[in-house]
Amino acid sequence: MSKQIKGSCLCGTVQCEVHGPFARFYQCHCDRCQKKTGSAFASLIFTSPANINWLAGEDKIKRFDLPNAVRFSNVFCTECGSQVPYLSRDGSMLCIPAGFLDDDPEIVPQANIFWEEKFAWYDEGQAAPKYDQYPV
């Protein structure tokens, strides 16, 4: 069995361990992921539903399945609002927000999807100067 990777939300209420093999790692630039993350794209790792072991806070998770969508869901900690791992709506996949993981999943993004919906400022954002802290 591959290595267990711990994950937790911002407040620490929701905690789990996941393990690979990870099937896919996508950066999704669709306008729904922009809304749900409040950011340029969602980083999602997909694996089989059996590859998770919940450690805490499963009862503090809220699931929102977007009514007019086939696949889209927003699943988050009710205490801090962080996105947490969830089962796809058809039950076939476990979707793990990469930022939820505390350790390196040892898989890198394989694709940028819904690329044509990316923000107009995306490229400039990537090219902007880098600082390790707030710039002075």
Task: Give yes or no for residue 98 binding Zn ion (CB under 5 A).
Answer: no
Query: Cβ distance 61 to 75 under 8 Å?
Result: yes
Task: Give yes or no for residue 117 binding Zn ion (CB under 5 A).
Answer: no
How many residues sit close enough to Zn ion to count as binding (CB under 5 A)? Answer: 9
Among positive and negative, which fits the CA dihedral 10, 102, 85, 83? Answer: positive
CB of 43 to Zn ion, least distance (A): 10
Q: Which stretch binds Zn ion (CB under 5 A): 5-13, 15-23, 89-97, 98-106?
A: 5-13
Task: Give yes or no for residue 28 binding Zn ion (CB under 5 A).
Answer: yes
Furthest-apart CA atoms within the chain: distance in Å: 48
Task: Give yes or no for residue 11 binding Zn ion (CB under 5 A).
Answer: yes
Task: Give yes or no for residue 30 binding Zn ion (CB under 5 A).
Answer: yes
- Say whether the peptide bond before residue 21 is cis (omega within 30 degrees of 0): yes
44 token code pair: 């999602």
- Which 68-97 residues touch Zn ion, going by CB under 5 A? 77, 79-80
Q: Are strands 111-113 and 86-87 parallel, antiparallel or unpaired?
A: unpaired
Given the rule CB under 5 A, which residues bind Zn ion? 9, 11, 13, 28, 30, 33, 77, 79-80
